[in-house]
Amino acid sequence: MRNTHLTRFFLVVALILGQFTFASEAKEEGEGHGKDLKTEIKEYITHHLLDSHDFSLFSYTKENGEHKYVGIPLPVILWDNGLKVFSSSKFHHGETLAEVDGNHYKLYHGKIYKTDAEGTINYDDEHHATNIKPLDFSITKNVVMIIVTGLLMLWLFTSLAKSYTKNNGIPTGAGRFFEPIVLYIRDDIARPNIGEKRYKKYMPFLLTIFFFIWFLNIFGLTPLGINVTGNIAITVSLAIMTFLITNFTGTKDYWMHQFDPLGKSLPWYGKIPLYIILVPIELLGLIIKPFSLLIRLYANMQAGHIVLMSLIGLMFIFKSWLGSPLSFGLAFAISLIEVLVALLQAYIFTMLSALYFGFASEEHEHDHEHEAEVAH
């Protein structure tokens, strides 16, 4: 238990230091470029929430005024009349152009545009860039963390399976920590919500989605500034998988309920007026359920990062013995809450997915038995 508390403490300290780095960069760059400090902090919060083509660890300004970034560049893969592959270091965080095979590309607001040698960006009446955007298949930091999380899960649970084989069903090492979680998902989420007969076929997805979201949420609390589950495209993809599994595994009773929610409780001529209202509502529910999944996960993770970084930014705005410690204390408290939210959001997504699967796989056997008795 003591080791658990120490691990949690160091995780939170690392998070605070990571966010502090972002805010201190904002302060430094704001002073160097003459921008308003509040504007700079807002820009850094926005930058932190977005996906990027590199891992930015920190930055500093030399005595000659040159701004240096320290991070890890990632491969840029474009399709522009052929495949263009180069390192994101050529962009120098958007400050320079990347020249590849005689073409010039500019990183502008996180997107890559094709430009001329001067880096000109053209705009429409609404100030949207009109330059050509090549097809971007780049390995961004979100993609890297998805791959890392996938490989981590594969290694962990392959090791867990092997330990079962070697030790007669008794896990060893990290498996001792993960086995109770696996059993909890099976016995307290899948079985009660899906049913004893059908829960097994959904277990691979439920286990995968739980640990995938949980691990990514935890990675999002590190100083690397990874916000995968705060990306709407990721949460949409996860919700679509739940939507497809729910509807493709739905039973006859499930689909009959969508188009005939009243069943045989009323004669057909008495149901028509009600069906004008009920059927569209039932069909709309097919879309609302996955939509609620994606919005809940996206909004909670996004809001947590915004609140935390805003509190850190207040330290540089207050610049007082009272305001700065208070902001740091609030940020520390929010960090502790975020560790819990990371687990809670994975649990909620898994629980609701299991609930939807249970609705889809349910069969009303008592209705068939009643019909047989009446016929007899």
Q: What is the pTM of this model?
A: 0.79
Q: Position 319: which residue type?
A: K
- State the pLDDT at residue 275: 67
**Could you give the CA distance from residue 174 to residue 185 in angstroms, rounded to a whole number?**
17
**Could you give the CA distance from residue 300 to residue 229 in angstroms, rounded to a whole number?**
9
Are 203 and 350 in contact, with CB atoms under 8 Å apart? no
Tell me which residue of 253, 326, 317, 250 sits closest to 289, measured CA to CA.
Answer: 250
- Sign of the CA dihedral with 331 first, then 337, 340, and 342 last: negative
Give first-to-last CA distance, the chain, whole Å: 64
Place of tokens 């997107």: 111
- State the pLDDT at residue 308: 82
Where in the chain are the domains?
Answer: 27-139, 143-366
Are 173 and 157 in contact, with CB atoms under 8 Å apart? no
Tell me which residue of 125, 364, 126, 156 sits closest to 265, measured CA to CA.
Answer: 364
Cα-based angle 360, 364, 365 (whole degrees, multiple of 5): 135
Instruction: Give the residues of the chain that fall short of pLDDT 50.
Output: 1-34, 366-376
Long-range contacts made by residues 256-260, C-beta under 8 angstroms, separation at least 24? 257/282, 258/282, 258/283, 258/286
As given in the structure block, the two tokens for residue 53 are 């083509």
Q: Position 349: which residue type?
A: F
Q: Position 230: which residue type?
A: G
**Could you give the CA distance from residue 190 to residue 107 in angstroms, rounded to a whole number?**
45
**Could you give the CA distance from residue 126 to residue 142 in angstroms, rounded to a whole number?**
29
- The 3-state DSSP class for residue 57 equals strand
Q: Exposure pattern of 173-202 as b/e (b: 16+ CB <10 Å)?
A: eebeebeeebeebeeebbbebbeeebbeeb
**Could you give the CA distance from residue 138 to residue 118 in angstroms, rounded to a whole number?**
24
Q: Position 100: which residue type?
A: V
- State the pLDDT at residue 295: 92
DSSP state letters, 74-113: -EEEEESSSEEEEEGGGGTTTTS-EEETTEEEEEETTEEE
**Could you give the CA distance from residue 229 to residue 376 in angstroms, rounded to a whole number?**
56
Place of tokens 């009243």: 262
**In this predicted model, what pLDDT tens digit does every residue of 150-202 receive, in sequence order?**
999 999 888 888 888 888 778 877 778 888 999 999 999 999 999 888 899 99
- State the pLDDT at residue 1: 42
Is residue 98 classed exposed, middle or buried when 0-12, 13-18 and 19+ CB atoms within 10 A define those classes?
buried
Q: Which residues pair with 56 in a beta bridge?
A: 71
Q: How far is CA 20 from CA 57, 148, 363, in A?
A: 11, 25, 54
As given in the structure block, the two tokens for residue 30 are 């704001």
- State the pLDDT at residue 371: 44
Rounded to the nearest 10 degrees, the angle between the axes of helix 175-184 and helix 141-166 is: 100
**Could you give the CA distance from residue 300 to residue 302 in angstroms, rounded to a whole number?**
6
